[in-house]
Structure 1
Amino acid sequence: MQAKDEEEECVEITIGGPVGDSLLGQNIGPRRDLENPHNDAVRDEESVADDDDADQVIRNNSETAYDHAAARIRRTMPGGGSGRFPKGLEFMRVNKFDGGSWAQIERRFDELADRFGILSKSRFGQCIGMRESTEFADQLFDALARPRAITSASLLKDELREFWEQITDESFDVRLETFFDMVDKDGDGKIIEEEVKEIILLSASANKLSRIQNYAEEYAALIMEELDQENLGYIELYQLEELLQRSAQSNYAESRVLSQLLSQKLKPTIEYNPIKRCYSWLTYFVEDNWKRIWVIGLWFAICVCLFIWKFIQYKNRAVFKVTGYCITTAKGAAETLKFNMALILLPVCRNTLTWLRSNTKLGVLVPYDDNINFHKVIAAGIAIGVGVHAGAHLTCDFRRLINTTDEEYEPMEPFFGQEQPKNYWWFMKGVAGWTGIVMVVLMAIAFTLAQRSFRRNRLYLPKILKRLTGFNAFWYSHHLFVIVYILFVIHGYYLYLSKKWYKKTTWMYLVVPILFYACERLLRLYRSKYQRVEILKVVVYPGNVLALQMSRPHGFKYSSGQYIYLNCSAISPFEWHPFSITSTPGDDYLSVHIRTLGDWTMQFKSVFCEICQPPSFNQSGLLRADIDQVNNKIRVPRLLVDGPYGAPAQDYKQYDVILLIGLGIGATPMISILKSVLNDVEQYKEIEDGMVKSGVKSNKRKHNATKKAYFYWVTREQGSFEWFMGLMNEVAEKDIYGVIELHNYCTSVYEEGDARSAWITMLQSLYHAKHGVDIVSGTKVKTHFAKPNWRHVFKHLGRNHVDQRIGVFYCGSPLLNGELKQLSRDFSRKLTTKFDFHNENY
């Protein structure tokens, strides 16, 4: 390294390397990232008493400047890590925001600027696409305005163009300077601890991390301790760059390797031959849905056969000469109605399905997970049958009977009486007529209120009508089926064309399913009286989540992944609501986590919060109550339990490798599974330790033990991680074999590479390295930011588990359901790894 004349105030650096390197040297001007706090001491020769000491100081500072400059050059050298910051410190995402190009920014400027063409600072964030980060946008405005000597809180269009060019510049050095200027408010090239604290508070606010705001002072001291090792009281640009570089290395290496391994293997293939394309689609469709296909096919075939059988039967009767095909169509549809009204009860016999799922191998052929969907399909079949049956009567055969001649009507007298019907009222006032009308009205009400938009209360209706929708309306309207079935039997008994009892077959169809369902309800009634539980502990977590720990009823057996129904008579003696069990079969208690999403759950939380008074708060603000310590004068609400019931997640034992995905409170069934897997690990460790002591060697795992479990938990709020903090830490401590791999995602934090989350990323790396605790979740599991890239997740599993079948279990919002199902299909077709997708349905 050779120093030029002092007048030029720059350093020339020559780096030896391969001939092919495009960058062997670079002149670096006196930028503040090359300044050193000791430069004044070096230049001030009078302050140096000893020449040798002065030479040593000069050498040290020369080497420091070289290291800092070389680090800048390594980012641009081939193979020197140029890809390490491909999207680092992005202030805007031109390809993702709904307006990233200058033309769209300009259009927004024209909309937001005043009549003089001036954009106020308060609207700057909205103009560049930072609507949700106004404070961050204000700081960015100041950082961009300061070097340009802009002192007013407003911008002209040309000035905005300069701002836009700087924040969208692809050069990492430019972004780093902008990032540094946001912190260095006085522009002296140095960042003090108070400025670090302010930017931490700003970043925490932009990412909705309230707990980090509470500890901003501690985190600022940590950064100063790490970077200001000489206790100068400030840090400089090059030190900030080193910290950014350190926190980005591991993630970059992992993603680069993964992309290289699978980019070629997963290229989409295009089939241009339409016949082959249709054949491939049909093959994949059958492969994915063969269980559903044979069940629906069998059901449809039975309906068709019943329709044809009844159609032919009435075609050979005397009434056919008067009514023609009207009566054959009506009676054919009626026969399918009898069958479907009987069949629709079976998919909701939860105890029967749970027993079949847990004790038989029929799951290989029967899609138990689709029981509710099949229930809906049958309901649709009933609606079609009612439409055809009623339509044929009202528009066809009733009209023919009214208008037929006396001679033609004579054979009908044994069925309709000697007096010929004169109008429609004659049919409506009869037992068959009014029972049919009432049934149609009641079924229409139940069918309408069962639709998702009504059940989830998502319709914009007046307040008066709003009360008639929601889960309660769905629940109570569905119990109208008791009246419907009574009327259905009466309707089938008072038939005009069938007089002998054994030809009135409606009751024959219904007797067995109704007995099954009646036994189900009796069993629930028995459980509600004898499966009472005592509340042991109540915890109210952030995010409106209530955790209950209850005594376990005697003989209560269940599997991880199953759920129970809870009833609280203090709210309603008739309402039962399902909740996943978060405890394990090995625990001597039952636990559930309930999020307040509706009227019943809000009242439930309110009722149980009362027994926690006076509140006892810990440092995190959790409201807790140990019921054993509650004053005896306080009455604990009575809670009834019904269950357990089978769920898709309980099938996790069928797979050696499982992928568990939970969104928000949807993580609850996965928590029980993780606990069970962890218990298996601990049992295996105890067995292994026993074998070591006895001198016996064995490499065999438990027969049905899970060999690898991946858990991805995605939540919007930082406080949600407190729900299962204990489990996360327990897994991190006890999973010595690495069977469980945990991944937490907080979607309120901007993704890696975004300038708004850069300080959070640095803090997270530093704090986790020093204390082993994640600053976002408060657990030992490091939290990822933004939403997961599910395609990368499936790539990762496909690479690690070649030629294996992986069970994918999901519980959460239906919005992600389709994406995960499609990814499971796509990767199963492209790779030798097969993904079986299961999602929760209540």
Structure 2
Amino acid sequence: MWLFDRFVLFRAFSLRGFLNDLPRYIFVTLWMLTNIGLFIGFFVQFETFPRYFYFRMISRQGLSFARAPAAVINFNSMLILLPVCRNLISIIRGTCFRCSRSLRKALDKNISYHKLFAWTIIFCSVIHTAAHYYNYEFIITDAASPQRFEQVPSNPLRNNPLIYLRLLENRSLVLPLDAVLLNYMTYAGITGHIMWLILFLMATSSVEVIRKSFFEIFWYTHHLFIFYFIALGIHQFQMILPFQSNVDVSDPFNCSRLPVDTTGEGCEILPTFTAARPSSYKWFVIPLAIYLVERLIRFIKSLIPVQIVHVEEHPSRTLEIRMKRRFFRQDVGQYVFVNIPSISFLEWHPFTLTSCPEDNPEFSVHIRIVGDWTEALLKKVRQKGSNVRSTIITIDGPFGTASEDVFDYEIAMLVGAGIGVTPFASILKSIYHKRKNMNLKKLSQIYFFWVCPQPQSFEWFATLLKTIEKSLQDEGCPDLIKYEIYLTRGWTAAEARNIYLHEDDIEDPITRLGAKTNYGRPKWDEIFATIAENHSKKKVGVFFCGPPILSKELHFQANKHSTNNCSFSYNKENF
């Protein structure tokens, strides 16, 4: 799927589109080269270095194919926590305001990077585990075959107490064993299988259908990462990987040709062995410390009391919650994590702010009712009625997103799908206030597209659009925001009849707005071409919040229509 997505975007390749995403391409390229370099470097080391000669005689290529992906796992385990340090990313975005937009935009792909690191860990874990099973099969074969085993002088396995006792002194214990059972006789094997189970649970619960419908499962299983890092930290502590420590005075190539425990030319001193010391924890200890500081900051911020000002249930199964909190400073399009201890003490759910900076000190979120947690919230609101404002609620955030850059463009194209319209509520409100206060400096034209699957989705947001539409008309700039609304499906026969009868009315029969609702899906190719034609020599910022399938189409069109005449810079909300 990832390769298919890249192919789709490649078909729409343009130099302008490529330059827009250049920092991200550079980062991913450097990351890939580092992974490849680590794999090749460690593979060559364990395949050719003299100090691993004797162990290679027992494990064959299994040793190299186990240790090379292990280095890649360590590297990506070092990186995987950093993209979810949201305060860190917000700080970098804030201090990087003089950087190019494309550089800041690369930071908005933090969740994509997190997934990329995760799938790399899983892929390399498959290779690493399979190679070790291969190793254990040969260890068992050697232990059961004295002739093969005694060919190696001062065999390295003798220097490992666990394998020595289990495999050499009592071979009767070995013969009935298989590689699976032998794995559970070592710390490395036990912790390795624990990590495998954790990775399996985290990956399967991250599938979109699970994450969207059963967010609680995703939330709980993802916090198993704590046990993953504990297991990774102690994975090597038994030190069962021996290597020759005196290759400078005992050449293994010559020594291996001599009878057992004898010396001779090129082997004046018998080989001695030591165990490789643990190293995995060295890779992730600093990023883990950064993440713990991040969590501490978020915990302290979440302790600040939040006052619920107003709760309103919209007919479209959407709850609006307005709140206040000390030291809360918001920017357009940002998001917060919401926790309600009376529903779940541990669960934190992300929601985009629908308020704007000019609404301070109040801020608001709109929550679509889907899943167990939101259903419990709706039930609580209905039960408590006006007393719902006494509900204890905690907030973590706000955190920055791509929408913060909307005022850096002269032309902005905003696309929201369904409840994905929430960040644009904040943006449109802020645009209205800035225009009213004569503070809208660079942004001169906004195109707003809202794609909805059913008529009920229009209800809460249409009221805001109606207010902005009337205000801009009163101020003499009705064309500042040009919006188009699309209803893709869900209308009944009665609604279709009503639409037909009121087709010539001044107001749209569904939204009650001046702009008429379009029925069906937008023709994005024509829309982008028209905007490019109308704004020659301009750079258009495209901002989207919604499902991945529409994101791919918009990204494709943005790259396709980016030319020297007009370029489109694509930005997607990620949280």
TM range, smaller chain: 0.7 to 0.9
Q: State the distance in 1 between where 2:285 and 2:374 align.
A: 37
Residue 760 of structure 1, CA deviation = 2.9
Q: Deviations for 1:467-493, whole angstroms, at most 9, x for unmatched residues?
A: xxx322111111111111111111132
Residue in 2 that maps onto 1:131: none
Alpha carbons of 1:498 and 1:294: their partners in 2 closer, same or farther (altered >3 Å)?
Answer: farther
For structure 2, the 5+ residue unaligned runs are 1-9, 143-147, 168-173, 244-273
Say yes or no: does 1:306 pair with 2:62. Answer: no
Q: State the distance in 2 between where 1:582 and 1:279 align.
A: 36
Residue in 2 that maps onto 1:38: none
Residue in 2 that maps onto 1:126: none
Q: Which residue identity does 2:552 align to in structure 1?
A: G
Residue 411 of structure 1, CA deviation = 3.1
Are the aligned partners of 1:750 and 1:785 in contact in 2 as well (CA < 8 Å)?
A: no
1:745 to 486, 490, 495: 486
Residue in 1 that maps onto 2:236: 492
SS in structure 1 opposite 2:311? strand
Residue in 2 that maps onto 1:447: 203
Residue 779 of structure 1, CA deviation = 3.9
Residue in 2 that maps onto 1:582: 354
> Structure with the greater relative contact order (CA < 8 A, sep ≥ 6): 1 or 2?
2
Residue 396 of structure 1, CA deviation = 3.3
Q: State the distance in 2 between where 1:336 and 1:543 align.
A: 47
Q: Which residue identity does 2:404 align to in structure 1?
A: Q
Q: State the distance in 2 between where 1:490 and 1:782 align.
A: 63
Residue 321 of structure 1, CA deviation = 3.6
Residue 398 of structure 1, CA deviation = 4.8
1:570 to 342, 349, 368: 342
2:285 to 493, 503, 511: 511
Residue in 2 that maps onto 1:273: none
TM alignment of 1:254-273, pairs within 5 A: none
Residue in 2 that maps onto 1:794: 528
Q: Which residue identity does 1:713 align to in structure 2?
A: W
Q: State the distance in 1 between where 2:298 and 2:536 align.
A: 45
Residue in 1 that maps onto 2:261: none
Q: Deviations for 1:326-362, whole angstroms, at most 9, x for unmatched residues?
A: 2122112211111111111111111111211222137
Say yes or no: does 1:535 pair with 2:289. Answer: no
Q: State the distance in 1 between where 2:408 and 2:76 align.
A: 33
Q: State the distance in 1 between where 2:202 and 2:333 align.
A: 30
SS in structure 1 opposite 2:484? strand
Alpha carbons of 1:362 and 1:506: their partners in 2 closer, same or farther (altered >3 Å)?
Answer: farther
Q: State the distance in 2 between where 1:336 and 1:795 align.
A: 44
Q: State the distance in 2 between where 1:542 and 1:342 align.
A: 46
Are the aligned partners of 2:540 and 2:566 in contact in 1 as well (CA < 8 Å)?
A: yes
TM alignment of 1:120-519, pairs within 5 A: 286-287=18-19, 289-314=21-46, 315-316=48-49, 317=51, 318=53, 319-360=55-96, 361=99, 364-365=102-103, 367-396=106-135, 398-400=137-139, 402-403=141-142, 404-408=148-152, 410-412=154-156, 413-416=158-161, 418-419=164-165, 421=167, 422=174, 423=177, 424=179, 425-457=181-213, 470-497=214-241, 503-519=277-293
Number of residue equivalences: 507
Residue 785 of structure 1, CA deviation = 3.7
Bigger Rg, which one? 1
Q: Which residue identity does 2:568 align to in structure 1?
A: F
Q: State the distance in 1 between where 2:540 and 2:350 align.
A: 27
1:598 to 371, 378, 403: 371
Residue 517 of structure 1, CA deviation = 0.9
Residue in 2 that maps onto 1:803: 537
Are the aligned partners of 1:322 and 1:409 in contact in 2 as well (CA < 8 Å)?
A: no
Are the aligned partners of 2:339 and 2:345 in contact in 1 as well (CA < 8 Å)?
A: yes
Alpha carbons of 1:435 and 1:279: their partners in 2 closer, same or farther (altered >3 Å)?
Answer: closer
Residue in 2 that maps onto 1:164: none
Are the aligned partners of 2:240 and 2:276 in contact in 1 as well (CA < 8 Å)?
A: no
Q: Which residue identity does 1:562 align to in structure 2?
A: Q
Between 650-659 and 390-399, the greater mean CA deviation after superposition: 390-399
Residue 761 of structure 1, CA deviation = 5.0
Q: Which residue identity does 1:794 align to in structure 2?
A: F
Q: State the distance in 2 between where 1:674 and 1:516 align.
A: 36
Alpha carbons of 1:755 and 1:779: their partners in 2 closer, same or farther (altered >3 Å)?
Answer: closer
Q: State the distance in 2 between where 1:546 and 1:644 align.
A: 19
Residue 675 of structure 1, CA deviation = 0.9
Are the aligned partners of 1:808 and 1:835 in contact in 2 as well (CA < 8 Å)?
A: yes
Q: Which residue identity does 1:536 align to in structure 2?
A: V
Q: State the distance in 2 between where 1:280 and 1:740 align.
A: 28
Q: State the distance in 1 between where 2:490 and 2:303 align.
A: 47
Residue 658 of structure 1, CA deviation = 0.5
SS in structure 2 opposite 1:807? strand
Q: Which residue identity does 1:741 align to in structure 2?
A: K
Alpha carbons of 1:326 and 1:747: their partners in 2 closer, same or farther (altered >3 Å)?
Answer: closer
Alpha carbons of 1:296 and 1:401: their partners in 2 closer, same or farther (altered >3 Å)?
Answer: farther
Residue in 2 that maps onto 1:175: none
Residue in 2 that maps onto 1:607: 380
Q: CA RMSD in A?
A: 3.0
Q: State the distance in 2 between where 1:280 and 1:836 align.
A: 14
Q: State the distance in 2 between where 1:501 and 1:511 align.
A: 22
Are the aligned partners of 2:498 and 2:509 in contact in 1 as well (CA < 8 Å)?
A: no
Residue 757 of structure 1, CA deviation = 5.3
Alpha carbons of 1:755 and 1:792: their partners in 2 closer, same or farther (altered >3 Å)?
Answer: farther
Are the aligned partners of 1:608 and 1:637 in contact in 2 as well (CA < 8 Å)?
A: no
Residue 667 of structure 1, CA deviation = 0.7
Q: State the distance in 2 between where 1:818 and 1:430 align.
A: 46
Residue 397 of structure 1, CA deviation = 5.5
Say yes or no: does 1:708 pair with 2:441. Answer: no
Q: Deviations for 1:100-145, whole angstroms, at most 9, x for unmatched residues?
A: xxxxxxxxxxxxxxxxxxxxxxxxxxxxxxxxxxxxxxxxxxxxxx
Q: Which residue identity does 2:312 align to in structure 1?
A: V
Residue in 2 that maps onto 1:724: 461
Are the aligned partners of 2:239 and 2:276 in contact in 1 as well (CA < 8 Å)?
A: no
Taking structure 1 as the reference length, the TM-score comes to: 0.56
Between 634-643 and 494-503, the greater mean CA deviation after superposition: 494-503
Are the aligned partners of 2:338 and 2:395 in contact in 1 as well (CA < 8 Å)?
A: yes
Residue 389 of structure 1, CA deviation = 1.4
1:658 to 402, 412, 419: 412
Q: Sequence identity of aligned pairs in percent?
A: 29
Q: State the distance in 1 between where 2:227 and 2:432 align.
A: 49
SS in structure 2 opposite 1:680? helix
Taking structure 2 as the reference length, the TM-score comes to: 0.81
TM alignment of 1:642-657, pairs within 5 A: 642-657=396-411
Residue 804 of structure 1, CA deviation = 0.7
Are the aligned partners of 1:611 and 1:636 in contact in 2 as well (CA < 8 Å)?
A: no
Residue 749 of structure 1, CA deviation = 8.2
Are the aligned partners of 1:729 and 1:781 in contact in 2 as well (CA < 8 Å)?
A: no
Between 344-353 and 756-765, the greater mean CA deviation after superposition: 756-765
SS in structure 1 opposite 2:281? helix
